[in-house]
Chain A
Amino acid sequence: MARGYNQKIEQQQAPAFFVRGPSPFARLVFFFSLSLALIATDSRLQYLNSVRQTLMGLLHPLQAVANAPTQLYIVTNEYLVTHNHLLNENQQLKQQALKQNIALQRLNMLALENDHLRQLFQANQALAESSVLGEIMHVGRDPFTKKVIVNRGEAHHIVVGEAVVDAKGVVGQVTRSYPLSSEVTLITDKSLSIPIQFERNGLRAIAFGNGRDNTLDLPYLPSNVDIRRGDKLVTSGIDGIYPAGLAVATVSQIEITADSPFARITCIPTGGVENHKQVLLVSIPHVSFPEIIDVTHPLVGDVPVSKLQMAPSIKPVQPILKTPQARLVSKPHAAE
């Protein structure tokens, strides 16, 4: 036993003494600086996006292998559902379909009426977005962010920026697209914000993900703002990304403190942000831009000027110089 043990040590260490190459410290310094260079390149410059996409394409088969056991489980589970359960579900779905049919009839009428009114006012036609049904493959692996990976990618014409919705409301936005999958950042992620409108009074605001728990925050609203608990938030559509009128969240808590001029408003998302498996990826509405008068200032802060003009239903005859943002653009120009 003791001899075998010694042999083991010798076998292990004899090559280690001679074939070691550079010292561990040299290797550490080399790879440490290489990683730092990578971090700097990736976070500040855009060079690595195409590299990432290609590599993700190569990684896809591995992902498929990893997903196989769960897929198998789901399939067998579906296969083994009892007859009774299916009957019940069928009945429920029929009832639901009936209710929704009635609502849909009214919706059709309203849509017709809306089209007609728009024609009367010679406004742009409401936008019709196309959408792709996707399935969530897995939750993002980074514990710091709230992301999911969906099984639709560039091969299915998914582009970065598309809105992702489920049956109940907005879930998130596509932030990266790979060849066969895409990364969706959920609206509860800290880095995602979504322009919203209150259903009750039409007040517009921007909702930010909280990041820690599954809620949204509405910062920068004054403490005397007309918001009540239970108010519904819908997408306003002025960003040109999310179609207008989709449910986003419900106000759950309003805190007004004397020391802050702003109210602290917390909302709970209506969409099953972490529940459902199927989601709909809605393509970005294609807006025909009005002729831009002055393109010498393509950027306002980080927002491209074209985004300011994306209010989809505004008639593009009058240039947007009337809006306060546009005035902001023209100011520095005038100063010159």
Chain B
Amino acid sequence: MQQSKLKTIYFSLLTAFICLLLPWSGFALTIRPDFLLLVIIFWLIRAPNLCNIGTAWFAGLLMDLAVGGIFGQYALAYTVTAFFAVMYQRRLVLFSGTQQLVYIVLLLLISQITLLILKIFSGMQMIGWTYFLPSVTGVLLWRVAVFFGLTVGGRTRGT
């Protein structure tokens, strides 16, 4: 049971990673949601015994490799995000659907802001408010997933 679930987790992570590797460009790149982080948050909340902060760190390292920046930036951002995701994981059961969405968008923003701080420290310039669009599209994607029945538990189905 756990083995098969573990396989599902790794398969979904791999799929999300390939989604990120797709040749996005232009506006699509600006609004591309962080698929990998979304999947990690999903599993962190749903199966915290199988997917933990370490998983998030490794996924972040993979992102660093794919993005080609300095090693450790995404790893750090994902670690921080995963920590907050795990911290409130048990309380999430009490959240309503909308509250969950707010929680997810906050998590995505934490990751982006951590990255932004790291990038600014390494001498990059802020690229304007469009930088935060992936968080918005990410949470929309989450809503779509909830619509199709992918829930992390709790009262998302209006019980």
A70→B71 contact, CB < 8 A: no
Q: Which of A1, A38, A211 contacts B125 (CB 8 A)?
A: A211
CB-based contact B83/A24 at 8 Å: yes
Name B22's closest neighbour in chain A (CB-CB). A66
Contact mask for chain B residues 24-66; partner A; CB cutoff 8 A; 1 contact, 0 none: 1110011000000000000000111100111011001100011
Q: How far is the CA of A47 from the CA of B125 in the complex (A)?
A: 27
Q: Is the interface of B mostly helix, strand, loop or mixed?
A: helix
Instruction: Please indicate the chain B residues that have their CB under 8 angstroms from the CB of A156 in the complex.
Output: none
Binding site secondary structure of chain A: helix
Q: Whose C-beta in chain B lies nearest to the C-beta of A48?
A: B71
Q: Judging by beta carbons under 8 Å apart, are B24 and A27 in contact?
A: no
Residues of A contacting B73 in the complex (Cβ-Cβ under 8 angstroms): 35, 39
Which of A132-140, A200-208, A240-248, A314-322 is the interface stretch? A132-140
0 or 1 for each of B115-138: is its CB under 8 Å from A? (1 = yes): 000110010110100010000000
Bound form: Cα–Cα A48–B65 in Å: 11
Note all chain A residues with C-beta closer than 8 A to B76: 32, 35-36, 39
Nearest CB in chain B: distance from A273 CB, A: 13
Tell which of A12, A24, A35, A55 touches B86, judged by Cβ atoms closer than 8 Å.
A24
**Which one, B22, B46, B83, contacts A70 given CB within 8 A?**
B22
By a CB distance below 8 angstroms, the chain B residues around A41 are 71
Tally inter-chain residue pairs, CB-CB below 8 A. Answer: 135
Instruction: State in angstroms the CA–CA spacing of A176 and B29 once bound together.
Output: 22
Stretch at the interface among A83-91, A121-129, A143-151, A250-258: A143-151
Please tell me the size bucket of the interface on A: 35 or more
Within 8 A of B (CB), among A132-186: 137-145, 147, 149, 176, 183
Q: Is A39 in contact with B68, judged by CB distance below 8 angstroms? A: no
**Contact count band on B:** 35 or more
- Nearest-CB residue, chain B, relative to A37: B72
In the complex, A76 has a CB within 8 A of chain B: no
Given A16-B49, A39-B118, A62-B17, the answer on whether A52 and B71 have CB atoms closer than 8 Å is: yes
Interface residues of B in 70-124 (CB under 8 A from A): 70-73, 75-76, 79-80, 83, 86-87, 90, 93, 118-119, 122, 124
- Which residues on the A side are within 8 Å of B57 (C-beta)? 31, 34-35
Among A5, A43, A63, A143, residue most surrounded by chain B Cβ atoms (within 10 Å): A143
Knowing A20-B49, A24-B86, say if A212 contacts B25 (CB, 8 Å): no
**Residues of chain B within 8 A of A141, CB atoms compared:** 20, 24, 29, 66-68
Select which of A24, A38, A62 is within 8 A of B21 by beta carbon: A62
Decide: A27 and B53 in contact? CB cutoff 8 A: yes
Question: With A27-B53, A42-B72, A59-B66 in contact, is A69–B17 under 8 Å at CB?
Answer: no
Q: Which of A41-70 contact B (CB under 8 A)?
A: 41-43, 48, 52, 55-56, 59, 62-63, 65-67, 69-70
Interface centre among B22, B61, B93 (most CB of A within 10 A): B22
In the complex, whether A103 has a CB less than 8 A from a CB of chain B is no
- In the complex, whether A190 has a CB less than 8 A from a CB of chain B is yes
The chain A residue sitting closest to B49, CB to CB, is: A15
Contacts A27-B54, A62-B17, A62-B18 given; indicate if A147 touches B68 (C-beta within 8 A): yes
Interface positions of A from 82 to 133, Cβ below 8 Å from B: none
**Nearest-neighbor residue (CB-CB) of A40 within chain B:** B72
B23 near A36 with CB under 8 A, answer: no
Give Cα distance in the complex from A65 to B48, angstroms.
Answer: 30
Name the residue in B17, B26, B57, B60 with the highest tally of chain A Cβ atoms < 10 Å from its Cβ. B57
Is the C-beta of B3 less than 8 angstroms from some C-beta in chain A? Answer: no
Complexed CA–CA distance, A37 and B75 (Å): 11
A31 near B22: Cβ-Cβ < 8 Å:
no
In the bound complex, do residue B71 and residue A142 qualify as a contact, i.e. CB atoms below 8 Å apart?
A: no
Question: With a CB–CB cut-off of 8 A, which chain B residues contact A42?
Answer: 70-72
Partner of B46, one of A12, A62, A183: A12
Q: Is the CB of A31 within 8 A of B72?
A: no
Give me 13 A-to-B residue pairs in the complex whose CB atoms sit less than 8 angstroms apart, sorted by A's number: A9-B153, A28-B53, A31-B57, A32-B80, A36-B72, A62-B21, A66-B21, A66-B22, A138-B22, A141-B66, A149-B68, A176-B68, A211-B125
Residues of B within 8 A of A (CB): 17-26, 29-30, 46-49, 52-54, 56-57, 60-61, 65-73, 75-76, 79-80, 83, 86-87, 90, 93, 118-119, 122, 124-125, 127, 131, 153, 159
